[in-house]
């Protein structure tokens, strides 16, 4: 059996930047064990799989445009939300399957997610806004990060706020010393050339440091929007590859915009 494989850099200003995702359209769902094995073989932060039949629980499609059932796997686990692989999946669908569409809808573990295409070739991902609550800093986590937090918050991910972009860039975390967390850890600060900057670490789910994490900005954007007092913000994730995002709070949603660059197209030979 042959399945197409597309590798696409999401939130990328140029080739070899942003976050690479594997996108694999499927005629039907394969066994979960095989999906996990493929994600491990791809060895990227996320592999996205989608099919056109929707599950019964999806309900009505939330607007005009094609709709698909989408799932995401790291090399170790299936996850509840992934922004960059959703953006990459939309880019592949717009380019190869629906060139006339201006939006595509995905039913996921996090409900319906929509990606719209703008006249400037940006893709805008619509995510649920995620809350953060102030908590007392975990001393083991602070020691593992090697930083001096100004605030510590919890939500989908643990958020450590520090004073400056320089401190975010300079951090050399001891990932083996991370305490167990629900998903990942975001290190963030006000930015020098963007409103805010961040780095994202999730060794517990097989991602030591993620290049650009769209879903983390569903939590960061409401937090920084309150701090700056405005809904529209620019963001820069300071991984080695780096990525830039435009983020907007829109009620109970967060719009995260960026560009995609296709890296490769191939065919995978499956042992089924």
Distance CA 172, CA 175 (A): 9
Instruction: Specify whether 118 is located in the same domain as 174.
Output: no
Q: So what's the pLDDT on residue 215?
A: 92
The active-site residue out of 46, 158, 165, 209 is 46
Q: Does 248 reside within a domain? A: no
Is residue 154 a contact partner of residue 133, using CB atoms and an 8 Å limit?
yes
Element (H, E) at 199: strand 196-202
Q: What's the CATH number where 230 sits?
A: 3.10.310.10
pLDDT in tens, the chain (272 residues): 899 999 999 999 888 999 999 999 999 999 999 999 999 999 999 999 999 999 999 999 999 999 999 999 999 999 999 999 999 999 999 999 999 999 999 999 999 999 999 988 899 999 999 999 999 999 999 999 999 999 999 999 999 999 999 999 999 999 999 998 878 999 999 999 999 999 999 998 889 999 999 999 999 999 999 999 999 999 999 999 999 999 999 999 999 999 999 999 999 999 76
Instruction: Specify whether 58 is located in the same domain as 152.
Output: no
Instruction: Specify whether 185 is located in the same domain as 209.
Output: yes
Instruction: Specify whether 8 is located in the same domain as 123.
Output: yes
Q: How far is Cα of residue 191 from the mean position of the Cα atoms in its chain?
A: 20
Q: So what's the pLDDT on residue 159?
A: 98
H helical segments located in the chain: 32-42, 83-96, 139-145, 165-170, 217-228
Q: Does 247 reside within a domain? A: no
C-alpha pair distances (Å), 36 with each of 17, 41, 76, 180: 25, 9, 7, 22
Is residue 158 a contact partner of residue 144, using CB atoms and an 8 Å limit?
no
Instruction: Specify whether 122 is located in the same domain as 139.
Output: no
Tokens of 211: 């290049």
Instruction: Report the domain count for the chain.
Output: 2
Distance CA 128, CA 204 (A): 23
Q: What are the backbone angles phi and psi of residue 220, rounded to the nearest 5°?
A: -70, -40
* 252 assigned to active site: no
CB atoms within 10 A of CB 102: 13
User: Containing domain of residue 64, as a range?
Assistant: 2-128+257-269
CB atoms within 10 A of CB 143: 13
The HSE-up count of residue 159 (CA atoms within 13 Å, CB side) is 25
User: In 3-state terms, the chain is what percent helix, strand and coil (to 5)?
Assistant: 20, 40, 40
Instruction: Specify whether 203 is located in the same domain as 158.
Output: yes
Instruction: Specify whether 155 is located in the same domain as 96.
Output: no
Instruction: Specify whether 123 is located in the same domain as 137.
Output: no
Element (H, E) at 69: strand 67-73
pLDDT digits (tens, 9 = 90+) for 154-166: 999 999 999 999 9
Instruction: Specify whether 158 is located in the same domain as 105.
Output: no
CB atoms within 10 A of CB 175: 15
Q: Does 45 reside within a domain? A: yes
Q: Does 251 reside within a domain? A: no
Q: Is 76 exposed, middle or buried (CB count within 10 Å of its CB: 0-12, 13-18, 19+)?
A: middle
Q: Does 252 reside within a domain? A: no
Element (H, E) at 17: none
Instruction: Specify whether 100 is located in the same domain as 176.
Output: no
Helix (H, G, I), strand (E, B) or coil at 40: helix
Instruction: Specify whether 6 is located in the same domain as 112.
Output: yes
Instruction: Specify whether 156 is located in the same domain as 210.
Output: yes
Q: Does 111 reside within a domain? A: yes
Q: Does 233 reside within a domain? A: yes
Q: So what's the pLDDT on residue 272?
A: 66
Distance CA 114, CA 105 (A): 4
Q: Does 72 reside within a domain? A: yes
């Amino acid at each position: 059996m042959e399945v197409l494989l597309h590798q696409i850099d999401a939130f990328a200003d140029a080739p070899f930047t942003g976050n690479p995702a594997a996108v694999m359209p499927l005629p039907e769902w394969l066994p979960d064990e095989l999906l996990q094995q493929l994600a491990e073989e791809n060895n990227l932060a996320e592999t996205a799989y989608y099919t056109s039949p929707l599950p019964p629980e999806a309900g009505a499609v939330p607007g005009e445009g094609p709709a698909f059932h989408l799932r995401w796997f790291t090399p170790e686990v299936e996850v509840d939300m992934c922004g960059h692989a959703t953006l990459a999946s939309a880019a592949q669908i717009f380019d190869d399957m629906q060139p006339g569409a201006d939006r595509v809808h995905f039913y996921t573990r996090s409900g319906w997610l929509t990606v719209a295409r703008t006249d400037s070739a940006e893709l805008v991902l619509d995510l649920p806004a995620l809350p953060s609550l102030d908590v007392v800093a975990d001393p083991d986590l602070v020691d593992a990060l090697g930083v001096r937090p100004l605030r510590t918050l919890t939500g989908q991910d643990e958020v450590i706020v520090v004073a400056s972009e320089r401190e975010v860039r300079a951090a050399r975390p001891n990932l083996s010393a991370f305490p167990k967390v629900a998903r990942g850890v975001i290190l963030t600060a006000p930015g020098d050339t963007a409103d805010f900057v961040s780095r994202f670490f999730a060794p517990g789910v097989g991602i030591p440091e993620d290049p650009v994490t769209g879903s983390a900005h569903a939590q960061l954007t409401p937090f920084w929007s309150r701090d700056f007092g405005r809904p529209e913000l620019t963001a820069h994730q300071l991984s080695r590859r780096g990525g830039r995002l435009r983020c907007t709070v829109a009620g109970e949603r967060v719009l995260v915009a960026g560009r995609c660059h296709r890296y490769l197209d191939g065919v995978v030979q499956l042992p089924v």
